[in-house]
Amino acid sequence: MSRPSVTRIGAKMLIPYILILALYVQFHGDYGPGGGFQAGVIFAAGFILYALIFGLTATLRVAPDGVVEKLVCVGVLIYAGVGILTAGLGGNFLEYGVLNHHDPSHGQHDGLLLIELGVGLTVFAAMLKIFYDFAGRGRS
């Protein structure tokens, strides 16, 4: 058995922190810099680093291509679903205040959190799918 390389050990140490940073950016994006787009890219970067170090096959076991394709759709459905829900509750499309009739500011917060979750999921899955498509091509 060969000894692990420095890049493998470094990746094993860095990837959890990259994913935690992505979650922090996702859920604190409405209070400061960040949000769904940035968090989705950071989360995808963690998976791409994993693929570059441990191989595409290992990454496809962790995040299968079919699941990633479905996550793109789920993220878009979350985004559109919030807009349709707010319109159905009597507000305009994406008017978050109607999500909480007792305190519209809480509705604003809840709506923003859901929208950013949909954006983050879509961006993560789209970035990873693009990487899968390019990494899976053979050399010509």
Q: What is the pLDDT of residue 22?
A: 96
High-pLDDT (> 90) share of the chain, %? 74
Instruction: Tell me if 50 sits within 8 A of 15, measured CB to CB.
Output: yes
In a domain, 20, yes or no: yes
Per-residue pLDDT of 90-120, as tens digits, reads 999 989 989 988 898 888 888 989 999 999 9
Structure tokens at 30: 């409405």
Q: How many CB atoms lie within 10 A of CB 45?
A: 19
pTM of the prediction? Answer: 0.89
Average pLDDT score over the chain: 91
Q: What is the pLDDT of residue 35?
A: 86
How many structural domains is the chain composed of? Answer: 1
Provide the pLDDT confidence category of residue 30 given band limits of 50, 70 and 90: low
In a domain, 122, yes or no: yes
Range of the domain at 30: 6-135
User: What does the alpha-carbon distance between residue 74 and residue 121 come to, in Å, rounded to a whole number?
Assistant: 8
23 pLDDT more than 50: yes
> Among 82, 115, 74, which Cα is nearest to 99's?
82
